[in-house]
Amino acid sequence: MSRALKHDIPGADRRIGEGDVRAKGWAAIFGDDADAARPLVVEIGFGRGEFLIDLALAAPATPHVGVEYSTKRVLKMARRLARAAVANVRLLDCTGEIVVHDLLAPASVQEFWINFPDPWPKKRHHRRRLLQPEMVRALAERLVASGSLHVATDHEGYADAIDAALAGEPLLENAFAPAPFLRDVPGRRATAYEVEWRAEGRPMHFWHYRRCAA
């Protein structure tokens, strides 16, 4: 028997809409909950949310944005944030493409985290994959100088496409060079899905690229 989804928020509701960002801007949206002078940390596709919460707790003065195209996941995450009293996070029920292209200004992001995006394994669906060359360019443009783009996947086919898109972007440099990617990153927090997929023997791929300083 499935459990009924709870819609009440036991505390402050950290969800926002596209219109809020367009009308107010990020500084007003975070208010006193984070330092408006700091660039954003953005996780696209936060899943169950444990990774984003850890990021936010480790840097309580930094504004964090969680993006997820699932109303159910956003609602569950809003409840978790309220219970944990994590103030420096805002949640968007939105696609990553809309957030990056329409809601983030150039040089406004310190870090992007994209953990295990949908691989869309069927060839006819590859155009739906998030990490296309044009999206990588948009991500790079929104990073501050030396800002970071972190990507992870467990899908071999998608890994090849991600690697090509990242390596082909002249605004980015590989922080793991000369290795194209790593199978394990010391000190990196594993997501809940990663733990499950490692137990199944799936291969991990982790990239870390930085915005070129000049």
Residue ranges and CATH numbers for the domains of the chain are: 15-211 (3.40.50.150)
pTM of the shown model: 0.94
Per-residue pLDDT at 185 exceeds 90: yes
For residue 1, name the pLDDT band (cuts at 50, 70, 90).
very low
- Distance (Å, rounded) from C-alpha 82 to C-alpha 78? 6
Per-residue pLDDT at 119 exceeds 90: no
At 146-167, the pLDDT tens digits run 999 999 999 888 999 999 999 9
Per-residue pLDDT at 187 exceeds 80: yes
Question: What angle is formed at CA 166 by the lines to CA 103 and CA 108, rounded to 5 degrees?
Answer: 30
Task: Give, to the nearest 10 degrees, the angle between helix 71-84 and helix 50-58.
Answer: 40
Of the candidates 13, 118, 160, 184, the residue annotated as catalytic is: 118
Q: Which pLDDT score is estimated for 192?
A: 84
Asked about 35 being catalytic, the answer comes back as no
For residue 3, name the pLDDT band (cuts at 50, 70, 90).
low
- 168 - beta bridge partners? none
N- to C-terminal Cα distance for the chain? 56
Contact 80, 54 (CB under 8 A): no
At 26-67, the pLDDT tens digits run 999 999 999 989 999 999 999 999 999 999 999 999 999 999
- Distance (Å, rounded) from C-alpha 15 to C-alpha 66? 9
